[in-house]
Amino acid sequence: MATTERRAEVIWEGALEHGRGELELKSGAAGALPVTWASRTRRSDGKTSPEELIAAAHASCFAMALSHGLTQGGTPPERLDVEAACTLDQTDQGLRIIGVHLDVGGVVPGIDEEGFEKAAAEAKDGCPVSNALKDNLAVSVTAHLEPGE
């Protein structure tokens, strides 16, 4: 695989508290995304934040890593539902992202709960986004099987 680079750009206008920004994903996968200080620290009101974007990146990367691991183990998933929560908090060192928690449910024929939990833990350790974050903040995962259709 060749080295891959992806780009995003933000244009910010005004002072932090009342300013606003517009985020553009250079892939064109989504339209312009508004971002404000209020959407980061109080309520989103239809705007995004760096923490939400980290959660999105982590959830999608983890889903791919888990799907790959399950498939390599002979139990490809029918469905994975990954929710990531990225937490921003005031600490003694200032405002910090302190952790990301992944919660994954899966419909995976041929695997038991213990096997699914093990695969999720391995995916967390192998996920490139988890690896980028792990020495800087807490990364945790809970996994549970869901009934198939």
Q: Mind listing the pLDDT tens digit for each residue in 96-124? A: 999 999 999 999 999 999 999 999 999 99
Of 77, 80, 83, 79, the closest CA to residue 59 belongs to: 83
pTM of the model: 0.93
| Structure tokens, 65 | 């890593």
Give the β-pairing of 33-35 and 8-13: unpaired
Of 34, 37, 30, the closest CA to residue 15 belongs to: 37
Helix and strand totals (H; E) in the chain: 4, 6
Amino acid type, 134: K
Q: What is the phi/psi pair of residue 120, to 5°? A: -65, -40
Is it the case that residue 149 has pLDDT exceeding 70?
no
How far apart, in whole angstroms, are the C-alpha atoms of residue 31 and residue 56?
16
Instruction: Note the pLDDT tens digit of each residue in 36-90.
Output: 999 999 989 999 999 999 999 999 999 999 999 999 999 999 999 999 999 999 9
Domains in the chain, start-ordered, CATH in brackets? 8-41 (no CATH), 50-145 (3.30.300.20)
Mean pLDDT of 4-30: 95
